[in-house]
Amino acid sequence: MGLLKSINIYLLLCTMALVPVCARGQSIKDTLMINEPDGEYPINRHLHIYGTDRRLSPDFIAGSLAPSAFTTLFPEKSFSARLKVYKYYWLQVTVKNNLPKVDFFYFQLNSQTLDVVTAYQENPGGHFTTLGITGTDIPFKLRAYRYCDLVFPVMLKPGEVIHLLLRIDNNDPNDGDDIHFLPQFSASNIFKAEEEKFYIVTGLITGVMLTVFLLNIFIGFALKEKIHLYYGLYILVALYEIYSISGTDLQYIYPQRPEFSGYLQYLSPCLLAILMTMIMQFFLDQRKTNSKIKRYADIGFWAIIGMMLVNLFIFFAFPENRSLIGVYEIVLAVLLLFQCLVFVASAVEKILQGFKPSWFYLAAITVFIIGLIEFIVMVLFGSNQELVLKRYPNDLQIGIVVEAIVVFLGIAYRYNLYKKEKERLMIELSIQQRNLIEKIVEAEETERKRIAEDLHDDVGATLSILSMHLSNVPKGTGGESHEQQSLNLSVKAFNDIRAIAHNLLPRDFTETGLFLTLEARVYELNTTGPIRFVLITEGDEKKLNELFSITIYRIVNELLINIRKHSMAAEAAVQVLLTENNVQIMTEDDGIGFKSDSVMSGIGLKNIKGRVELLNGTIHIDSSKNGTQTIIHIPLT
């Protein structure tokens, strides 16, 4: 019995000792073979993933879990999880170097969503030692390899077989409820070439964006145009977004404070979309009066501002609620896509309206949206990861740069069009000013001619008769009668001169105002002529400046003189109405009228038309055998 019990205990111990060996033996059989010195090796065929919410040791993962607990990445090249995300993910791979020399290889994850990643390597004793640590929550100088991406260098001797474990800690709720990575295992020369290419492209992008930024700031201050200052700020935010997507922000902007990346990763896209909306509306000259789509752009604009406030609220009130942060990410992604589609619709609307610079904006925003859709699809559904994570620059980063450059060129083109339009308007204004001066000179000459005719026909004739009358004074009787006639002629000459002066400008016009002066003029005409005039005035004359009032008086007085001289009417009505926005003058008489082809042939009507045009007004005359009606509208603004 004792011997049998000893044999059973021995067999049990052997079985227990063989369990981890069998487990590891299963992993070793699934080995990534390094047979070529230069290349990127198909790690997805040999990489196994296990997710859990428990914090486990690498020895337990390698020794106690059955191979069936793991999921092989193949046939996928990338891994993505959303909404249902474990706190810990373990990646397991076995690699054998069949090359005849010692070399470094690089295990790269192509991800900016992994908080902390710790690599372990199995030692000859069967236990695991830490190979290094990296992640978006790790200060840049403490990373296993100082690169913007998450990378572990692995040294392999000839014929050496190593068993690697990577533990992903996804404990930072501020990074959202998603995880994406695309693993690569590359030879040293391949990785170094990609690394060098990355920094060259990053330098070129930075140089281009900063050049556009400085040009916009300089032009903005030189021309005092806000659009360039807004665009300069947009360039900086866009450059930050490029850095953030590639992880370069953790290397260059806040290498010792990686937590800033989690704070800003949702605020920077919102700020970028807000600035894009402002620039779009400036660039396309989008207003409520010329765009039906502006209301949707405004709705998106304020919704994005609201999302920024919601982000701050979640950050301070529910910092541990991963599900809420995940829902926020989805809503923000959909809202940003909606706003970009509004940008496209706005550009198309302006193109249909004939605004040529809109083609620049449409081309720029289309390239940007292609990259944005790829990125959003990756975030929401986990697809397109190779296009977004592995490729640098990806389509979104290319879209940001192209959009920045093309819109800047569009602004320059827009200014060139505005410059030509301004030159054309200046020429037209110069012609209008020259025509206006000619009309003013013509009106002055016409006025002088009329004054000369009045002086010659009325005052001159009266004074000539008076002179002849005085030179033929009869002798003897009849002297008193002759003196009376001479006195009458003198009074007539005085009245003629007074009438001419009154037609030019009544005395004390400034003190009495427009309405009282017109009343005095109508009273004078009623007492000295056969036509009975009726005057109607309405409105606040105090809001008219003196020059405007004088011009209105001259127009009305000219109309009264024309009625008195030519209408042969018995009655006439004059109406002057001052409204909030315009002056309306209307005259109507029951005279004989005049032919339509001679409406503007008289000196008086020419003067009226010239003064009305000077005030940007309109005149309409309707004449028939039953009388004449004249309506004048003059705007006050």
Judge if 88 and 213 occupy the same domain.
no
Write down which residue in 375, 401, 428 finishes a domain. Answer: 428
Q: Is residue 492 part of a domain?
A: no
On whether residue 407 sits in a domain, the answer given is yes
The DSSP code for 475 is S
Which of 428, 460, 477 is the last residue before a domain boundary? 428
Q: Are residues 277 and 392 in the same domain?
A: yes
pLDDT of 388 above 60: no
Classify residue 450: in a domain, yes or no. Answer: no
Domain termination site, one of 170, 186, 202: 186
Peptide bond just before 255 cis, omega within 30 deg: no
Same domain, 525 and 615: yes
Tell me if 442 is assigned to some domain.
no
Please choose, from the candidates 87, 32, 77, 9, the residue with its C-alpha nearest in 3D space to the C-alpha of residue 54.
87
Local structure of residue 77 (DSSP, 8 states): S
Residue 62: φ, ψ to 5°: -80, -30
176 and 206 share one domain: no
Q: What is the pLDDT of residues 163-188, one digit of tens each?
A: 999 999 986 655 555 788 889 999 99
- Residue 598 CA to residue 562 CA, distance in Å, equals 13
> pLDDT at position 264, please?
84
If one counts the domains in the chain, the total is: 3
Q: What is the DSSP string of 362-424?
A: HHHHHHHHHHHHHHHHHHHHS-SHIIIIISSS-HHHHHHHHHHHHHHHHHHHHHHHHHHHHHH
Domain hosting residue 74, numbered range: 2-186
Comparing 1 with 60, the larger pLDDT belongs to: 60
177 and 226, same domain (yes or no):
no
Residue 320's CB is within 10 A of a number of other CB atoms, namely: 8
For residues 74 and 175, state if they share a domain: yes
- What digits encode the pLDDT tens for the residues 538-571? 998 888 888 788 888 888 988 998 898 888 899 9
Nearest to 621 by CA among 613, 630, 609, 634: 630
Of 512, 603, 524, which is closest to residue 550 (Cα–Cα)? 512
Domain identity same for 203 and 128: no
If asked whether residues 180 and 268 sit together in one domain, one would say: no
Residue 58 has a pLDDT of: 92
How far is CA 511 from each of CA 11, 508, 634, rounded to the nearest angstrom? Answer: 127, 5, 24
Give 23-35 pLDDT, tens digit per residue. 343 443 589 999 9
- The DSSP bridge partners found for residue 576 are 537, 585
Q: 61 and 127, same structural domain? A: yes
Per-residue confidence (pLDDT) for residue 383, from 0 to 100:
57
pLDDT, mean of residues 99-114: 90
SS3 readout for 128-178? EEEEEEECCCCCHHHCCCCCCCCEEEEEECCCCEEEEEEEEECCCHHHCCE
- Structural contact between residues 320 and 173, judged by C-beta atoms closer than 8 angstroms: yes
| Per-residue pLDDT tens over the stretch 512-547 | 888 988 998 898 889 888 999 999 999 988 888 887
Least confident range from 1-10, 398-407, 455-464: namely 1-10
The pLDDT mean for the chain works out to 81
pLDDT of residue 193: 92
**Which residues touch 286 (CB under 8 Å, ≥6 apart)?**
280, 293, 294, 297, 346, 350
Mean pLDDT of 609-616: 83
Residue 631 placed within a domain: yes
Find the mean pLDDT for residues 304-318: 86
Is 478 contained in some domain? Answer: no
Query: Rounded to an integer, what distance in angstroms lies between the CA atom of residue 328 and that of residue 519?
Result: 74
| Whether 68 contacts 151, CB under 8 Å | no
Residues 134 and 150 in one domain: yes
Tell me which residue of 378, 312, 384 sits closest to 178, measured CA to CA.
378
Enumerate the β-bridge partners of residue 582.
635
437 exposed, middle or buried (CB, 10 Å; 0-12, 13-18, 19+)? Answer: exposed
- Domain check: are 199 and 119 in the same one? no
| pLDDT of 138 higher than 80 | yes
Report yes or no on 456 lying in a domain: no
Specify the CATH number for the domain of residue 513.
3.30.565.10
Task: Answer yes or no: do 412 and 510 share one domain.
Answer: no
CATH code of residue 94: 2.60.40.2380
Phi/psi for 236 (5° steps) reads -65, -45
The answer to whether residue 465 is domain-embedded is no
- 176, HSE (Cβ side, Cα atoms, 13 Å): 26
